[in-house]
Amino acid sequence: MSADPSEDTSAARPGARGRGATDNMSANPTTAKDDAFGASTPGDTDDDTTVLNATGGDWDDLVDEAAALHEERIVVNMGPQHPSTHGVLRLILELDGETVTEARAGIGYLHTGIEKNMEFRTWTQGVTFCTRMDYVMPIFNEASYCLAVEKALGITDQIPTRASVIRVLMMELNRITSHLVCLATGGMEMGATTVMTIGFRERERILSVFEMITGLRMNNAYIRPGGVAQDIPAGCIDKLRETVPLVSKGLHELELLLNENPILKGRTVDVGFLDLTGCMALGMTGPILRATGLPHDLRKAEPYCGYETYDFEVATRDTCDAYGRLRVRIDEMHQSLRIVEQAIERLDAEPGPVMVEDKKIAWPAQLAVGSDGQGNSLNHIREIMGESMESLIHHFKLVTEGFRVPPGQAYAAIESPKGEMGCHVVSDGGTRPYRVHFRDPSFNNLQGVAAMSEGGSVADVIVAVASIDPVMGGVDR
């Protein structure tokens, strides 16, 4: 909105490109004093002050601007319903022939209000919402939230070792499934259907393990404040030991298809280029950052869940392009398998509780499915219904009202498959969050679309976006 519409000539000046609503700041010769909030005050002028007026920009504005500039250019509206935008992402591309001269991303088409909904549920119920944000990496959504809640509660050091090992196991398996979706869909978008079928075949192996442990393939709501919902079931260790070699073999097949494939390298080498300076300026993290040669990984830099006790390496490349990001993700999957194998050995050797001892916080029931396909642990039901009225009352209050978190705020960050996944929780001392906000890496990484795409061809835009690996459920929270 311009402070003085009559003087806003950005659409008529060849130097002003009429940026979209996310970055449309055009210099205006009008001068005025700024108030405390940065808004200009009409009538008060100051020759030393330059006012920057934000001007709108959408489809109609871009068309009008194109006509006013009298230039031969095409504005293409790619998305939000498009098979190659990784969800409902809208890309507005300005083309000169097949060369992209300007690219901007439009988000907000999948907004779910998850963060706001969490303010109306108990701290434990919030897990059911946040797990659905980035639906490709639900375990990481849950982990960042629960770590933040535990920090606010002051019980970080009280989490049982076995619960932390299970969390690491689940996160690393989820990291593999997320990278497999990235490689599979990216390959499909470039016409490599075999990459798609192999990628999803290996992902299914891991999702079957998730279903065995949590009861669900996705949106698991398995990690809870204080630990995890239940211990791994009988036979799970054997299932994992069978699955890991099969997944490793599948990853090797993907490497044979991708790593030295001349067609793939022709589509990805030097495409979507973004160096370390650009990544730092835009707040990019994850494989995009590590493909510039910087070994930044929160599992090493700021360990959590006992990651400092695991033996693994941070995968890096120095190509700064889509090919380097692909190779980083493949290397990371092998490192994740190393961590999974170590976690399996620890689970086999260290039995113990999987929920914090404080009964005012710990979810009281171990989930168990009966012959009718539903229900909780029969032993627990027998105790609270037939032996202990106090247990019944406590169960009722904990489930319906929830536990209280002391007033204050906390931030916890973890290394997700896409970069730094952070959660900031604010408590007013009640049984519900006052505010929950997530730093989703896809939201920050999408800022790189313009830098990666401008100057390349339309086909390169597909590769650049695929190398970012955005999931719009995490972007539009």
- CATH number of the domain where residue 154 is located: 1.10.645.10
Within a domain: residue 268?
yes
Task: Determine the residue type at 207.
Answer: L
The values of phi and psi at residue 344, to 5°, are -60, -45
How far is Cα of residue 54 from the mean position of the Cα atoms in its chain?
29
Residues 58 and 207 in one domain: no
Residues 184 and 290 in one domain: yes
Residue 411 and residue 149 in contact, taking contact as beta carbons nearer than 8 Å? no
**Domain that includes residue 51, residue range:** 1-71
Residue 71 and residue 48 in contact, taking contact as beta carbons nearer than 8 Å? no
> What gap in Å lies between CA 187 and CA 80, rounded to an integer?
20
Residues 42 and 132 in one domain: no
> What gap in Å lies between CA 473 and CA 477, rounded to an integer?
6
For 241, the token pair is 């030991």
Residue of 52, 27, 30 whose CA lies nearest to 39? 52
- Which residues make beta-bridge pairs with 355? 227
Within a domain: residue 52?
yes
Residues 44 and 154 in one domain: no
> What gap in Å lies between CA 69 and CA 14, rounded to an integer?
6
Domain end (from 71, 86, 101): 71
Residues 191 and 307 in one domain: yes
Within a domain: residue 420?
yes
Which residues 6+ apart lie within 8 Å of 205 measured at CB? 243, 246, 247, 250
Residues 397 and 267 in one domain: yes
Residues 278 and 343 in one domain: yes
Domain end (from 17, 36, 71): 71
Within a domain: residue 267?
yes
- The predicted pLDDT at position 28 comes to 42
Residues 119 and 61 in one domain: no
Within a domain: residue 99?
no
Residues 22 and 120 in one domain: no
Within a domain: residue 173?
yes
Nearest 5°: the CA angle 326, 328, 334 is: 110
Residues 38 and 187 in one domain: no
Residues 119 and 27 in one domain: no
Determine the 3-state secondary structure of 13 from DSSP.
coil
If one counts the domains in the chain, the total is: 2
Within a domain: residue 81?
no
Q: What is the dihedral of CA 22, 27, 33, 37, to 10 degrees?
A: 10
> What gap in Å lies between CA 245 and CA 429, rounded to an integer?
48
Residues 42 and 131 in one domain: no
The length of the chain, given as a count of residues: 477
Which residues 6+ apart lie within 8 Å of 80 measured at CB? 88, 89, 90, 106, 109
Please tell me the number of Cα atoms within 13 Å of 227 on its side-chain side: 25
pLDDT per residue rounded down to tens, the chain (477 residues) = 444 444 444 433 333 333 333 344 444 444 444 444 444 444 444 556 777 665 555 767 767 776 776 666 788 888 787 777 778 888 888 888 888 888 888 888 888 889 999 999 999 999 999 999 988 999 999 999 999 999 999 999 999 999 999 999 999 999 999 999 999 998 888 888 899 999 999 999 999 999 998 888 899 889 999 899 888 888 889 999 999 999 999 999 999 988 888 898 898 998 889 999 999 999 999 999 999 999 999 999 999 999 999 999 999 999 999 999 999 999 999 999 999 999 999 998 878 888 888 888 887 656 555 555 555 666 667 767 777 777 777 778 888 888 899 999 999 999 999 999 999 999 999 999 999 999 999 999 999 898 998 888 888 899 999 999 899 888 988
Within a domain: residue 100?
no
